[in-house]
Amino acid sequence: MQEIFKNMTLEARIKAFADLGQYLNDPKNISEIELWADRASHQNNWFTIENTKKSLKSIADYFLNEVLLRQWTDLYEIKDTPETVKSVGVIMAGNIPAVGFHDLMTIVLSGHACVAKISSQDSVLMLSLIEKLLEFNPNLEIRVADKMNEVDALIATGSDNSAKYFEYYFRNKPHIIRQNRTSIAILNGEETETDFLNLGQDITDYFGLGCRNISKIYVPTGYDFTKFYDSIESLGDIFYHNKYKNNYDYNKSIYLVNGIHHYDNGFMILTKNEAMVSPISVIFYEEYQNKEDLEKVIIENQTKIQCIVSKNAWFEKSFNFGDAQKPKLWDYADGVDTMAFLLSL
C-alpha cells in the first residue's frame, strides 16, 4: 500500500477534490448531474431530484472549494504519505444524499486508504461521486466493500442501537462511532419574516431527515407562533411529497385521537414536548424563562445536539438561521475532530 502512495502528494489529493468541485459546478455537466439525481430518486424516494442537486451543490461549494480545502488542511500537519498508511473503514449513513462524502474525503486527504461501506439507500449517488473522483486521479486509494473485517480503524454512523453493536465489534480498533443526533433552534422574539423563512428551510430541507435539520425549538414563555407560520407558508409544497404527507397525516391523527395540544398550518405540526428528536412533519418546542435556564437544558442534552441555530448566531456556538446545512469543512459531526483522529493513527 505504501507503493500506491509513493507519488501521491497532499497537493495531488487536494487537486482531485477541487477538480471534482469544479466539475459539479460546471454548467456543461448539468445533464450528467441531472442523470445522477434522477437515478438516485428512483433508488430512494426521499432523494428528490431537487434535494439531490441541492446536496451536490452544497458539497461543491462548501467542501470542494479549493480555497476552503487549503484553509482546512493548513490547520493540520498532513504528510504526503503517513509513516504507516492505514486502511480506514467508513460505514456511511443514507439519510440524506451523499451524507458520507465528508468522511471519505477526510480519510483520503489524511493520506490513509478509504474502505467505504455505502448505504443501500445512497449507493447510486456515492458511487457516481467516487467514480468521477477516480477519473480525476485513479491513484486515490478508495474501494467499496460490504464488510469491515480487515480495516485498521473505523468511522461509523448509525442509530443508537447500531452504535452499540459497532462499539462492541470494533472495541479493539481505533474508532469514531456516531449515534443519533438532531439540531435545535433558539428564538428570542426578535426574529423577522426572513429569519423565520430561513429557519423553515433549516427544518424542511431534505424533509427533516438530516442530523443538522431542526427538530426542536426553544422559545420564550408564552410565545406566539402565528408570525412563524405566516412566514413559512411558501414552504408548503413539501406537503405534496407522498412520503412526507403520509407522515404528516399519521402524526396529526395521533395527536387528534389522543387529544394532544398542537399547532398545525397544514404541513407542519408544532407540539410541546421535552424530547429532542421529533417525528417527520412534527417540530417539538419547549419554553424557557431566561438564558441561564436555557443553557442548563442544552448542557444536559449536548450529547444529542448536532448544531444550534439562532438569529445572527447570537447564541454561543450557533449558526445563523438558514445555515444549518452549510457546515464548514472543520465543523465535524458530533464535535469530534475526524482529521485529528486519522492523523493520530
Total number of domains constituting the chain = 2
Task: Read off the pLDDT band of 1 (50, 70, 90).
Answer: very low
Do 143 and 291 lie in one domain? The reply is no
**Spatial contact of 68 and 329, defined as CB atoms under 8 Å apart:** yes
The percent of residues above 90 in pLDDT, for the chain, comes to 90
Task: Read off the pLDDT band of 8 (50, 70, 90).
Answer: confident
pLDDT mean over 89-105 = 96
Do 36 and 167 lie in one domain? The reply is yes
Do 115 and 208 lie in one domain? The reply is no
Task: Read off the pLDDT band of 22 (50, 70, 90).
Answer: very high
Do 120 and 263 lie in one domain? The reply is no
Which tens digits make up the pLDDT trace of 116-173? 999 999 999 999 999 999 999 999 999 999 999 899 999 998 887 888 888 888 999 9
pLDDT mean over 13-18 = 97
Do 112 and 257 lie in one domain? The reply is no
Task: Read off the pLDDT band of 83 (50, 70, 90).
Answer: confident
Judge whether 310 lies within some domain: yes
Do 123 and 227 lie in one domain? The reply is no
**What ranges make up the beta strands (E) of the chain?**
87-91, 113-117, 142-144, 153-157, 175-178, 182-186, 214-220, 263-264, 269-272, 282-288, 305-310, 319-320
Give residue 7's pLDDT: 53
Do 155 and 117 lie in one domain? The reply is yes
Judge whether 302 lies within some domain: yes
What CATH code is carried by the domain that includes residue 171?
Answer: 3.40.605.10
The pTM is what?
Answer: 0.93
2: pLDDT strictly greater than 50: no
Query: Containing domain of residue 160, as a range?
Result: 3-180
| Average pLDDT of the chain to the nearest whole number | 94
Judge whether 329 lies within some domain: no
Of 86, 88, 110, 82, nearest to 170 by C-alpha is 88
User: Which of 146, 180, 214 lies at the terminal end of a domain, its last residue?
Assistant: 180
Do 203 and 304 lie in one domain? The reply is yes
Do 241 and 100 lie in one domain? The reply is no
